[in-house]
Amino acid sequence: MTRILANRVRVWLLVGLFAASVVLSGSISTTAQAQDKDPIKIGFSMALTGALAGGGQQSLLAMQIWAEDINKKGGLLGRQVELVFYDDQTNPKNVPGIYSKLIDIDKVDLIVSGYGTNLIAPAMPIAIEREMVFMGLFGMDNNSKWKYEKYFQILPAGPDPAVGFSQYWFEAVAGLKPKTIAVIAADAEFAQNLKKGAVTNAEKMGLEIVYEQNYNPKTADFTPILRAANAKKPDVIYIASYPNGSAGLVRALAEVGTDAKAVGGGMVGLQFSGLMAGLGPMLNGISNYDFFVPEPTMDLYPGAGDLIKRYQAKVKEDNLKVDALGYYLVPWSYAYVDILGQAVNAVGSLDQDAIADYIRDTKFSTVVGDVKFGKNGEWDRSRTIVVQYQGIENNDLEQFAKPGTRKIMLPADISTGELQTFGALRK
């Protein structure tokens, strides 16, 4: 009897051990599989609220479209891609904390920047300290002081971005034979970098700078600034502004007017759907930088048009409260994560040095055409375009989705119109 019991216990013990081994081996293999299938996390901060959110929100949606696309194709290194992001509220103070959390707590595998120079700058020291590849989204000369070899930036302003950004604007207005210039800029890193470049270009052209002032982002009314500039009788006015200032200056131009032959240059925000529709005919005559507009010659970016159509359809279908047109940032936000993805797949690992080396040495084919990085991780050439707002009759947003309202002045190979004087296009 005792023997029978002992045997039964032995059998149950064996069964138990077997069962435990099956469960354990199963769990081990499940863990191994899960580790294999763990997504590759790409971390970033993004201006989802605050002054630059108009750009930040459309960038995020474009990046999500890219993540969907790449995941459909099997992801990166056979793993799915997951975007991990936090709202920086367009406040540079929030950025260092976000990137520390992304790297130390969320354990992201790759990092990219949020939108805009002022929000890239505070993340640079962290990327450098952790020796991670850092893809920048529309940073103006962020790397000129750091010279970090793993930083690459998608704003197509050329190897000397501060100068390259306004180069075509100065070439375009040269036809109006100006002798004097007024320069108005926001008190912010991006605008100040732009101003430096504009002053260099103005000096190269032999223009005399008759008025040069910065404005505070809290400025509620811009008529005194414009009046003070007008008093110096400049032939052209270069403006480097952020959305609030851009809108304020456009209104001031409508109310006070100016005799300057060309106005604009570096006005951020006039490319956003909300401001374009809101300002409407007040934009006529302003010449400004841009990157992608619905003009027929922009077909040189294969895939960008289709991407924008997909973006617009998504915004409509899901009734998203983001920029309805998305011309300004969508192709570029898609391209900067796409380049990182292409590099990871080509290198076959997440080794940051190898990825950086690959990005540095490769010409990428993307939705914004061929991209090759040069000095300081900037584009090896400038592809910033100059447009002039023309023929805007009302505040209807749809007109900005068709050719004709933002005609391309330069570069010459994709030009769709001639620069006219500011006054000629005002009623």
Partner 1 sequence: MAVFIDLLLNALVIGILLGGFYAALAIGLSITFGLLDVVNIAHPTMLVLGAFIAFLLNSTLGIDPILAGVLSTPFFFILGWLIYQVYYNVFEKSGAESLRGLAFFFGLLFIIEVGLVIQFGVDHRLVEAPYIGESWNIIIGQEIDVAIPFRLLVAFVVAAIATLAIRAYLTRTFFGRAVRAVAQDMMALRLMGVDPIRVKRIAFALGVATAGVGGALMIIVLPIEPSLGRLYLGNVFAIVVLGGLGSISGTLLAAVIIGVAESIVATFFGPSWGPAVSFGILLAVLAFRPEGLFGKTAGAH
Site residues for partner 1 per CB under 8 A: 48-51, 53-54, 56-57, 89-90, 187, 213-221, 223-225, 227-228, 231, 243-244, 247-248, 251-252, 254-257, 269, 272-275, 278-279, 282, 320-323, 395
Phi-psi category of residue 86: left, alpha or beta, with phi > 0 → left and psi -120 to 50 → alpha:
beta
Residue with smaller CB distance to partner 1, 167 or 273: 273
Residue with smaller CB distance to partner 1, 164 or 245: 245
Residue 34: CB minimum distance to partner 1, A: 35
Residue 173: CB minimum distance to partner 1, A: 24
φ, ψ of residue 89 to 5 degrees: the values are: 55, 25
**Residues 124, 118 contacting (CB under 8 angstroms):** no
Cα of 190 vs its chain's centroid, Å: 13
Residue 352: CB minimum distance to partner 1, A: 33
Contacts of 342 (CB under 8 A, 6+ apart): 362, 364
Check residue 363 and report its DSSP letter: P
Residue with smaller CB distance to partner 1, 49 or 80: 49
Residue 60: CB minimum distance to partner 1, A: 11
Residue with smaller CB distance to partner 1, 214 or 421: 214
- Report d(CA 192, CA 189) in Å as an integer: 5
Measured in residues, the chain has a length of 427
Residue 140: CB minimum distance to partner 1, A: 19
Residue with smaller CB distance to partner 1, 119 or 298: 119
Residue with smaller CB distance to partner 1, 257 or 302: 257
Contacts of 339 (CB under 8 A, 6+ apart): 135, 152, 154, 359, 364, 366, 371
Q: Which long-range contacts (C-beta less than 8 Å, at least 24 apart) are formed by 249-254? A: 249/184, 249/222, 249/225, 250/279, 250/282, 250/283, 250/286, 251/222, 251/279, 251/282, 252/221, 252/222, 252/223, 252/225, 252/226, 253/226, 253/282, 253/286, 254/282
Residue 278: CB minimum distance to partner 1, A: 3
Residue 272: CB minimum distance to partner 1, A: 6
Residue with smaller CB distance to partner 1, 323 or 338: 323
